[in-house]
Chain A
Amino acid sequence: MSTPYAKLPAWADYGLIPVINLFVAFVVAGFVVVLVGENPFRAAVILVQGAFGKGTGIAFTLFYATTFIFSGLSVAVAAHCGLFNIGGEGQGYIAGLGIGVVCLAFDSVLPWWLTFPLAIVAAAAMGALWALIPAYLQARRGSHIVITTIMFNFIAASVMVYALVGFLKPLGSMAPQTRTFLDGAQLPKLNWVIELFGAKIRSAPLNVCFLLALLMAFLVWLLIWRTRLGYEMRTYGHSAKAARYAGISETRIVIIAMMISGALAGMMALNPTMGDQHNVALDFVSGAGFVGIAVALMGRLHPVGIVLAAILFGMLYQGGAELAFEMPAISRDMIVIIQGLVILFAGALEHMFRPYIQALFASISPKTVGIEAVKGKGA
């Protein structure tokens, strides 16, 4: 009696609907392209070619995707526990503080493979710490986590400005950023992997963080679907009352989930700092935390989906840069618009097309859709 929507086959639910939503987002984006007087089809071709046409493009695409995998996983872990962590941006930004301190302290004495684990721990710890307070306030005092994490994004920004114009900045420098890291805090590139396939790469920042991101995706899958903790998180995410009944402590589970989420958001800071710029600079996160929301929604909160969605967004970033170069009327801000449209259609409007698709399925084969309801009735 309780299912308002008839059930669709899993492939339609997890494949067809997201693809349709994505398609609509791109159609609307196409109209924006028309509005600025360019040909959307040509733009699409340039975009895809820019992202995947050359080895360098692929490497850049995967470099961007690396950051988005982290931020997407971060949003997903919290979401499985029923929490909307909109603070990935701030958690990632503040993690730069930990990374900066570790790298500045050790880059002259340790090799990268020792600095890197230290930096991972520092980044994860800072991110987790920044998520801890909103988590605690949500669990113990009922403060809405969306609002507190937004507030913490701004507080993080202030703290980072304070640090970067203050103690993190080398003496006498005017730029609000750390000095360039030495070899001991520069992560090795992964471009040779792509070169194995015969592609040529000039210089692209794809680095070992990509592997770390894939590892994290696997660990998140393991956590959510294969561990007791993940089971408890999902239980709480679906029903707080059921969690209470099952003996799951609300405070504990909210805090742990948010800290894992924050740690993942923190780790996204490794890629642009140690992997690419080799410093910690003002605004280095540049919205990647928010992209995580789009990536997680697009990927249906599943690590595999998130990796695919992150690559899609990496493609948009890389192809978008190419596009801005080829079509001057289209700036990189086009990507921001597309992100917004994807969040709108894959997130807020995710059910818009569902009734039509269900009607379509029902008309093609009444059995597929009707069967669940029939099962539900008989006992």
Chain B
Amino acid sequence: MDFFIAIVQILDSTIRLSVPLLLACLAGLYSERAGVFDIGLEGKMLVGAFAGAAAASVLHSALLGLGTAILISVAFAMVHGFASITHRGNQIVSGVAINFIAAGSTIMLGQHWFQQGGRTPALAPGERFEAITWPGADALRDVPIIGPIYSELISGHSILVYFAFLMVPFAWWVLYRTRFGLRLRAVGENPAAVDTAGISVAWLRYRALICTGILTGVAGAYLSMVQNGGFVKDMTAGKGYIALAALIFAKWKPVNAMFACLLFGFLDALSIRLQGTPLPVIGKVPVQFMQALPYVLTVILLAGFIGKAIPPRAGGVPYVKER
């Protein structure tokens, strides 16, 4: 039974840890399927986290915090669009720039406004998103098997967790069942086809980036307003890049993205859980090995040893009308 409880606990923290990855990964999905590479997920998440926590603590409202997080994150996405869509700049370079600006400005403004070494004040209840307890969760807690699963795994998360997982079928539906999705996928494969069909390539890509901004904003808000109760400098700690890895791992598909993020989240949860504890047969696994595993797996995937990740064909290339 202890073992079972341990599993449930690991899975529970898997969910918590994979939510920011999932949101960022889906964010990247929108822009990359539209043909705009975005290694600035990290930076957009970071400004989202900062803006969310800052606004929530000043305005005393979690919702206003979330709104601000989204707003600022979208604004950064628009900078990326301005550089890489309007001015056809290098998308990688633009993404790197955004990560830098985000890393510097969050600390600097945080220090200026709150004087806590780059932190925002700890969020009070009501300023952060609380866990939602599902009906009957407490009553069922002691029922074997089902009890822990229901009350730990399913119930007891913040609204943003459920939002993140709902975004998976939603992204699938948008991409494959709507006009917008059709056009978005088309512009990532062959923008000239979209252009000659009388649709604005630029506006379509901007809209994709708005979706990206919204989701990275929520991802950031989750970090600072759910997981942590306040902003800490550099709190994304490479999650944007793991999300990018997950996106490749998922071959740019929404449902795959969820599984990839859960896998990476699970590895993270496991490495925290196993810290220092030896495993049977294998012995003691270094924490660093578990931390590096998502990246190693992605490299192996990219090398084509486990399936082939084919990116959207027009990805990374600014659209120029040919004549």
Contact = CB atoms under 8 A, between A and B. Distances in A.
Interface of A: 4, 32, 35-37, 84, 86, 133, 137, 141-144, 146-148, 150-152, 154-155, 158-159, 161-162, 290, 293, 297, 329-331, 333-341, 343-344, 347-352
A337 B92 contact: no
Output the residue of B82, B92, B311 with the most chain A CB within 10 A.
Answer: B92
Given A147-B302, A150-B241, A344-B97, A337 B108 contact: yes
Interface string B302-323: 1110000001000000001000
A363 to B, nearest CB: 22
A343 B104 contact: no
A151 B299 contact: yes
B14 interface: no
Chain A interface mostly helix, strand, loop or mixed? helix
A36 B118 CA distance: 13
Contacts of B244: 147, 150
A336 B303 CA distance: 33
The 8 A-B residue pairs with the shortest CB-CB distance in the complex, in nearest-first order: A340-B100, A336-B104, A348-B89, A337-B104, A340-B101, A348-B94, A158-B292, A344-B97
Interface string B276-305: 000000000010110110011011001110
A182 B291 CA distance: 33
Nearest to B305: A141
Query: Contact size class for B?
Result: 35 or more
A300 B76 CA distance: 26
B108 A330 contact: yes
Contacts, number: 147
Given A141-B303, A333-B118, 7 more contacts: A143-B303, A147-B244, A293-B96, A337-B104, A339-B104, A348-B89, A348-B97
Chain B interface mostly helix, strand, loop or mixed? helix
A344 B83 contact: yes
Contacts of A349: 82-83, 87, 89, 94
B107 A333 contact: yes
A343 B291 CA distance: 30
B190 interface: no
B307 to A, nearest CB: 13
Interface of B: 39, 79, 82-84, 87-94, 96-105, 107-109, 111-112, 118, 238, 241, 244-245, 248, 286, 288-289, 291-292, 295-296, 298-299, 302-304, 311, 320
22 contacts: A32-B108, A35-B109, A147-B248, A151-B296, A154-B291, A154-B292, A158-B289, A162-B286, A290-B96, A331-B118, A333-B105, A333-B111, A337-B100, A337-B108, A340-B97, A341-B101, A347-B90, A347-B96, A349-B82, A349-B94, A351-B88, A352-B87
A344 B86 CA distance: 14
Contacts of B84: 348
Contacts of B311: 144
A351 B320 CA distance: 14
A147 B32 CA distance: 13
A334 B104 contact: yes
A133 B108 CA distance: 37
A64 to B, nearest CB: 16
B50 to A, nearest CB: 12
A333 B108 contact: yes
Contact of B299 (A148, A161, A350, A351): A148
Given A154-B295, A158-B289, A335 B104 contact: yes
B248 to A, nearest CB: 6
A333 B93 contact: no
Contact of B104 (A158, A162, A333, A348): A333
Contacts of B238: 154
Contact of A137 (B102, B108, B303): B303
Contacts of B92: 84, 86, 146
B96 A151 contact: no
A10 B288 CA distance: 50
Output the residue of A151, A159, A293, A331 with the most chain B CB within 10 A.
Answer: A151
A37 B292 CA distance: 42
A330 B109 CA distance: 9
B288 A337 contact: no
A155 B296 contact: yes
Contacts of B109: 35-36
Nearest to A335: B104
B42 to A, nearest CB: 10
Contacts of B83: 344, 348-349
A329 B113 CA distance: 9
B84 to A, nearest CB: 7
B97 A347 contact: yes
B295 to A, nearest CB: 4
A55 to B, nearest CB: 29
